[in-house]
Amino acid sequence: MMAPVIVLVRPQLAENIGMAARAMLNCGLTELRLVRPDEAPDHPRALAAATHADGVLRSARVFDTVEAAVGDLHHVFATCPRHRDMVKEVITPRAAAADLRAMVDNGERPAILFGPERTGLESDEISLADVQVSIPLNPDFNSLNLAQAVLVMGYEWWQARAEAPDRVLVTNKAVPATKGELAGFFRRLEAALDECGFLRDERMRPTMILNIRAMFQRAGLMSHEINTLQGIVTGLTERPHASSIPGSRPGKRSSD
Amino acid sequence: MMAPVIVLVRPQLAENIGMAARAMLNCGLTELRLVRPDEAPDHPRALAAATHADGVLRSARVFDTVEAAVGDLHHVFATCPRHRDMVKEVITPRAAAADLRAMVDNGERPAILFGPERTGLESDEISLADVQVSIPLNPDFNSLNLAQAVLVMGYEWWQARAEAPDRVLVTNKAVPATKGELAGFFRRLEAALDECGFLRDERMRPTMILNIRAMFQRAGLMSHEINTLQGIVTGLTERPHASSIPGSRPGKRSSD
């Protein structure tokens, strides 16, 4: 699978190179290039910070210039927090990710450039990019750690893949209750509440029943959960296994 | 400005606490809570890793339990990579951010829970959440550094700032229950279920409790509904207004 190339320009700390590699692999990115790094990509502190993404570091390539690092690629996106005094398109990571997907789907190879921790990319390096990417963040504190910036770009790249659903109810094969099962539970509960006197106020009774039903409706109950609830009502009302010691409380039960 | 509370549960490394604080401030989040951290939030290594976000660390509060940490809040989102065997809604960070915005705009206070670096949240901690958030990433390598996970949630929170909510829960001015109120109901219900013998199977008891809590968590209960449920448990167990006519069903119970 083709994916964008991550280019770290003059990174200063081995830990950041390693954490960037880990963030890359989290997002399905595996091709790392470095321009004049202060520490080698296979530095022990880089390998330690990468945890299981050391393969990304070991296959990383080192270049002398940004121009050389992106020479075989088709598009360059430069990440930078500040707008420089150049006329250049500035887009968000989300918009960039959509462009990156389209390029890769088209068989083209894009790169994403990240500058040094302290200073960011220089103007002549940014000038090699087709577009600048600026991450919208708290304007009073928008300096991201290098690996964090890599993660945001990679995260958006991953989200831009074939759309996955945003919201899933994990049921582990549980079957939703039918409306008949739910109605059966309501009958059982309301009979018990009538009997114990909870619904004795005739005027309030209809509203109370509606409100009780609304709570359980909202929970989106599964079939087996209806059984649990039925068991709870039976347990609380009939106390078939209640402790035989009068007044005993949970925790003090010595036998059953 | 109101914003979600970040809750780090049993974090192990001071550096990660510090980097999480930095990521928070990058995204306009300032309220940090810690549950039994291995190292204090103002540990020198945490402060160093936070760079200029040390104010977030110095105002962080430490709690003994997740329950205590979220007691005054209305909604809990639990981040976890794996699906557990509970019926619970799982959503993406993007969908979560839209929900978080709608809640905050509505004056409600949500929390986002993050588990320990090595193990993640435990089942009983996840059971305190309304919804699980799972970050879609490379399925072959989806273990995110703690601060990276905080950044993804914060990043999506920031991106969602301008957007109008696409989902509204009509509550007719009802106030969502705080997690403390919900916990109080769970304590009451579980004590009653212990006493009547419903939870007598010691081996199954933890799973049964998790499943019962999951049902009520999912319902998104309002404060007044907690009162109703408390009243139902009292009614079913104590029968203070039970019909005085013996044998009036569903009881073969002649005595209590």
pLDDT at A114: 97
Phi-psi region of A220 (alpha: psi -120 to 50; beta: other; left: phi over 0): left
Q: In chain B, which residues have their Cβ closer than 8 Å to the Cβ of A242?
A: 195-197
Q: What is the mean pLDDT of residues B203-211?
A: 91
Residue B162 scores a pLDDT above 80? no
B135 CB near a chain A CB, below 8 Å?
Answer: yes
What's the 3-state SS for chain B?
CCCCEEEEECCCCHHHHHHHHHHHHHCCCCCEEEECCCCCCCCHHHHHHCHHHHHHHHCCEEECCHHHHCCCCCEEEEECCCCCCCCEEEECHHHHHHHHHHHHHCCCCEEEEECCCCCCCCHHHHCCCCEEECCCCCCCCCCCCHHHHHHHHHHHHHHCCCCCCCCCCCCCCCCECCHHHHHHHHHHHHHHHHHHCCCCCCCCHHHHHHHHHHHHHHCCCEHHHHHHHHHHHHHHHHCCCCCCCCCCCCCCCCCC
pLDDT at B247: 44
Quote the pTM value. 0.77
pLDDT bucket at A249, cuts 50 / 70 / 90: very low
Per residue in B135-150, pLDDT (tens digit) is 988 888 888 899 999 9
Higher pLDDT, B124 or B84: B124
Q: What is the mean pLDDT of residues B216-231?
A: 89
Q: How many residues can be counted in chain A?
A: 256
Query: At residue B18, what are phi and psi to the nearest 5 degrees?
Result: -65, -45
Q: What is the mean pLDDT of residues A206-211?
A: 87
pLDDT at A171: 65
pLDDT bucket at B1, cuts 50 / 70 / 90: low
Q: Are A193 and B250 in contact (CB < 8 Å)?
A: no
Give the closest-approach CA distance of B163 to chain A in angstroms: 14
Closest-CA residue of B relative to A152 is B152
pLDDT at B164: 41
Residue B36 scores a pLDDT above 50? yes
Q: Are B148 and A143 in contact (CB < 8 Å)?
A: no
Per residue in A36-49, pLDDT (tens digit) is 999 999 999 999 99
Q: What is the mean pLDDT of residues B114-139?
A: 89
**Share of residues in chain A with pLDDT > 70 (%):** 86
Chain B segment 74-93 residues within 8 A of A by beta carbon are 83-92
Residue B124 scores a pLDDT above 50? yes
Q: How far is residue B55's CA from residue B47's CA, in Å, rounded to a whole number? A: 9
Q: Which two tokens stand for residue A7?
A: 């280019």
pLDDT at A106: 84
CA distances from B208 to A253, B85, B164 (A): 19, 12, 39
Of A151, A170, A193, the CB nearest to B148: A151
Q: Are B233 and A228 in contact (CB < 8 Å)?
A: no
pLDDT bucket at A88, cuts 50 / 70 / 90: low
The answer to whether residues A28 and A163 touch, using CB atoms and an 8 Å cutoff, is no
Q: Are B136 and A158 in contact (CB < 8 Å)?
A: yes
Mean pLDDT of chain B: 87
The answer to whether residues A188 and A230 touch, using CB atoms and an 8 Å cutoff, is yes
Question: Given the DSSP bridges, would you call strands B75-79 and B88-91 parallel, antiparallel or unpaired?
Answer: unpaired
Q: Which two tokens stand for residue B66?
A: 């997740």
> Which of A69-73, A241-245, B79-83 is least confident?
A241-245
Give the closest-approach CA distance of A156 to chain B in angstroms: 10
Q: Are B243 and A53 in contact (CB < 8 Å)?
A: no
Per residue in A127-172, pLDDT (tens digit) is 788 888 988 888 888 888 999 999 999 999 999 986 555 666 666 6
Q: Are B193 and A237 in contact (CB < 8 Å)?
A: no
Q: In chain B, which residues have their Cβ closer than 8 Å to the Cβ of A222?
A: 87
Q: In chain A, which residues have their Cβ closer than 8 Å to the Cβ of B158?
A: 136-138
Q: What is the mean pLDDT of residues B33-57?
A: 96
Residue B5 scores a pLDDT above 60? yes
Q: Are A168 and B89 in contact (CB < 8 Å)?
A: yes
pLDDT at A172: 65
